[in-house]
Structure formats: structure tokens, C-alpha cells
Amino acid sequence: MASENMNYDCIVIGFGGVGSAALWEAAKKGWKVLGIDRFGPAHTQGSSHGQTRIIRRAYFEHPSYVPLTHRAFDLWEELNKRHRTSPSIKELITQVGLLQIGSSDSEVIRGIQKSADIHGLSIETFTPEEIQRRLPIFKIPENHIGLFEPDAAFLRVELCVAAMINQAVKQGAEIVSDTAVTEWQVDDSGQCSVETEAGTFTGKRLIIVAGSWANSLLPKLDLGLKVLQKQQHWFQLDRVDHKLVNDFPCFLLEQDNGDCFYGFPEIDYLGMKVCEHSGGKLIRDPAEIDRSLNQEELARTEQFMKQHFHFGRSRLVHHSTCMYTVSPDGHFFVDQHPSFENVAFAAGLSGHGFKFAPVLGKHLVDLLEGTCEPEFKFLKIAERL
Ligand SMILES: Cc1cc2nc3c(=O)[nH]c(=O)nc-3n(C[C@H](O)[C@H](O)[C@H](O)COP(=O)(O)OP(=O)(O)OC[C@H]3O[C@@H](n4cnc5c(N)ncnc54)[C@H](O)[C@@H]3O)c2cc1C
């Protein structure tokens, strides 16, 4: 329970993927810290749910992310050690490898090769025949190749968020759930005040990580963020070789028309998760999102599976709606607020931010202390807009 109106050292608005990491980092510093979220801890209404997220190093989106991926792997391992206090507790991170497939001139394949060359990453190249021999479920076009990153992994997304909140609370953080922030301001003396349905909270510093609600909490920044609705699907297949117990990797395939689909081994017998990374329905207000099954998105994913998988039958067993908050160039904004040096924010994580949550959480706290390591400069507003 938060101590209302107390003057906190730092208030974190939104403790989803990145906010929970910032909360933990601020609490580790010994700051008196408060997290406020419009939903409960580790919920299913934002962008950090749906069982799994991929973490990888050979970053096709831009080579500048690669050094941050190295830090991310280390920080997830550190969290995993703190979280797994007994062998019966599930791992947060599981190394299964990632196979990325496309023609040699596709954006994904060219991007991976560029990042691997610049940063000396070890990637194995497979022909379509080699892919089919190792992973017989796949049907791969003749003109495609596969690039395999052996130490890529999946993160159990809700468990990761819950573990970060848990660590933050153990270090003294206070949290207020199911409470939306309606407004925030900074007065002339630098005091931050945060208005909520449950009253006003004040603090010396503010971190804002509101995911798909970022536009409403950072209206003056005009970041040009768009929210896309995405559907995650879990399928039961009539074969067993795609299951985690058979060392099946995560995969991503870019088709010749640029459409991109990805999936995971079947974990915990929920079914094999297969989703589309491209596309998505533009939405105006995350509060009004329709979470019922979108048949069109399901049909696109089933069509992809028919084209690229060998199986006799598949059955949808579960679906979940999620959101990408996409910036104009597809890269994150993580910066100090241009008008207030004691306010930092992360926004526009563009459908690839979860793997970096602990790295960005730490960076947000560093920004509030006036530090921006050179590796993060490409994420600043001034470098982009
Ligand atoms: C289907 C899907 C697949 C993805 N796959 C991957 C992947 O494989 N690898 C990867 O790295 N990334 C992936 N991503 C992207 C990644 O999950 C997101 O970039 C990341 O989780 C976003 O974290 P966030 O903290 O910005 O948002 P969120 O986790 O949504 O957190 C924002 C929080 O702010 C709260 N909030 C909003 N407004 C208010 C308010 N006014 N007052 C109080 N609280 C508020 C919300 O309730 C929420 O808890 C995927 C995303 C989706 C949707």
C-alpha cells in the first residue's frame, strides 16, 4: 500500500515490461520508489503478455542494438538466479536457438548478416535441405536460406514481469495497481506531482513507461507513435517434433512479399505459438480494443502454416490480443524529457522491446542521474526527429 502524498525519490508510471525493470533498478539504488499502473501486476491488457518473447543478438533491425542485447542476456540471467530460489520454480529464460529464414536479399537475412559481421557474432547458415533434414516440419522455398543463432532464447514474459516487480518490492518499492494516472506535472521547484483516481502522489523524479498509452501521457512530445493490434495464436498440431522436449528452436520467416511470421516450440503443452510480425490493425484507443478472435488474422497465420509446415491437421487452442506501439522509424525512444531533466521515459518499443526490459530500466535510472552511455545515444529524440 502506497503512503499517499509522500514525497517519493522516484515515481514510475506503468510497471509493465520496462517499467517493472525501472522500478526494480530504482529500488536497488535505495530510492524510495512508487510504481503506479492502470492494471494489476503482470496483466494481459498491454504489450507484455502471451507466454513468451524471443531474445536474440544478431539484430536485423539495426546493428546498434547488438551491444544492448549482450547486456540484456546478462541481466536476465542475473534475475533468473534471484528468482529461481528452488528447482520447482520455472526458468525465466530458456536457450533453444533461433532459426531465421528468408531469401538472401530479404531485410531479415541481410540485417542479421550485417549485425553478425560488424559485431563478430557466430551464426550458422543452413540450406533449405539442411533445414528440412534437421527440422522436418518445415517446407522451405528453394531460394531461401536459414541463419541459426544457437544461443538465442525465449523469455517467459509474464513471469519475467512478475519477477521484476517481486524483486522491486523486496527492495522496498511500493506499488499501486488498478489505478490510472490522469495527469502529471513538474512545478518550478522541480517537484513532480502525479494525479490519479486514487489521489495525488509527489516525487523528486518521474519515469514514464506507458506502452500503448504513451501518447496520452507524453502528448507534447509528438513522437508520432502508432498502436497496432496483434493476435497471438496457439495451435495443437498432429505431430510432436515441434515440442520443446525435442529441442525445437524459435523461428522467424520473411516471405518474398516482406510478410513476416514467427513462432516458438510448444511449451507447457499449451500448443505451438505462431504469430505475424508484419501487418496489424491500427487502433486509436487501447481501452477500446476488441479482444475477440480476429478471423482475418487467424486466416493469414493458418495460410502461412499451410505454406511452410508439413502437418495433416492443426487446431487453434488459444489466442491472445496484444499491442505494438510503433515509432516512425521502428526504433525505441528512450530519453530524458526535453523540458524536465528529472523526467525520463521509454516509448515506441515497436514490437521488439521486451528482451531489453532490464537494460532499459537501468538506463532510465541512469538518465535521471545525468548519465547516458554512448551505446544508448541512438535512442534519443534529438538523434531522430
Ligand atoms: C504479440 C507480441 C509479440 C512480441 N514479441 C516480442 C519478442 O519476441 N521479443 C521482444 O523483445 N519483444 C517483443 N514484443 C514487444 C515487447 O513485448 C514490447 O515492446 C514490450 O513488452 C513493451 O513494454 P512496455 O513496458 O513499453 O509496455 P507494457 O508492458 O504494456 O507496459 C505499459 C504499462 O503502462 C501502464 N499504463 C498505461 N497508461 C497508464 C496510466 N495512465 N496510468 C498508469 N499506468 C498506465 C499499462 O497498464 C502497462 O502495464 C512483442 C509484442 C507483442 C505485442
pLDDT of residue 9: 98
Proportion of the chain above pLDDT 70, given as a percent? 98
pLDDT of residue 269: 87
pLDDT of residue 2: 60
Helices 107-119 and 66-83 meet at what angle, rounded to 10? 80
**3 state SS of 301:** helix
Cα(47)–Cα(281) distance, integer angstroms: 15
pLDDT of residue 385: 67
pLDDT of residue 5: 60
pLDDT of residue 4: 55
DSSP at 249: P
At 44, list the grid cell. Answer: 494481459
Biggest CA-to-CA distance, the chain: 67
The response to whether residue 275 sits with its C-beta less than 6 Å from ligand 1 reads yes
**Ligand 1, atom 44, residue with closest C-alpha:** 37
Beta bridge partners of 249: none
Q: Is the pLDDT of residue 6 over 80?
A: no
**Is 52 a residue of the active site?**
yes
Question: Mean pLDDT in the chain?
Answer: 96
Instruction: Quickly count helices (H) and strands (E) in the chain.
Output: 8, 22
**Nearest 10 degrees: Cα torsion 259, 264, 65, 112:** -60
Of 225, 267, 207, which Cα lies nearest the Cα of 242?
A: 267
How many angstroms from the chain centroid is the CA of residue 344? 19
Given the residues 38, 49, 319, 363, select the one marked as catalytic.
49
DSSP one-letter string for 23-57: HHHHHHTT--EEEE-SS-TT-SSSSS-SSEEEE-S
Position 355, amino acid: K
**Is 179 a residue of the active site?**
no
Of the pLDDT bands very low, low, confident and very high (cuts 50, 70, 90), residue 3 is low
DSSP at 332: -
pLDDT of residue 40: 93
pLDDT of residue 384: 81
**Is 325 a residue of the active site?**
no
Number of the ligand 1 atom closest to the C-alpha atom of 347? 26
Q: What is the pLDDT of residues 354-373, one digit of tens each?
A: 999 999 999 999 999 999 99
Question: Which domains does the chain show, CATH number per domain?
Answer: 7-48+158-222+329-383 (3.50.50.60), 98-150+226-326 (3.30.9.10)
Cα(268)–Cα(117) distance, integer angstroms: 36
**Is 53 a residue of the active site?**
yes
Q: What is the pLDDT of residues 259-297, one digit of tens each?
A: 999 999 999 989 999 999 999 999 999 988 999 999 999
Cα(214)–Cα(212) distance, integer angstroms: 6
Q: Is the pLDDT of residue 138 over 60?
A: yes
Q: What is the pLDDT of residues 57-93, one digit of tens each?
A: 999 999 999 999 999 999 999 999 999 999 999 999 9
Proportion of the chain above pLDDT 90, given as a percent? 96
Predicted structure pTM score: 0.97
Average pLDDT of 108-125?
Answer: 98
CA of 46 to the centre of ligand 1 (A): 5
The response to whether residue 16 sits with its C-beta less than 6 Å from ligand 1 reads yes
Cα(152)–Cα(60) distance, integer angstroms: 14
The best mutation among 15, 45, 47, 208 to test binding of ligand 1, ranked by most ligand atoms within 8 Å of the C-beta, falls on 47
Cα(372)–Cα(329) distance, integer angstroms: 21
CB atoms within 10 A of CB 319: 20
Number of the ligand 1 atom closest to the C-alpha atom of 179? 43
Of the pLDDT bands very low, low, confident and very high (cuts 50, 70, 90), residue 108 is very high
pLDDT of residue 246: 92
Helices 66-83 and 157-170 meet at what angle, rounded to 10? 70
Number of the ligand 1 atom closest to the C-alpha atom of 212? 30
Average pLDDT of 326-349?
Answer: 97
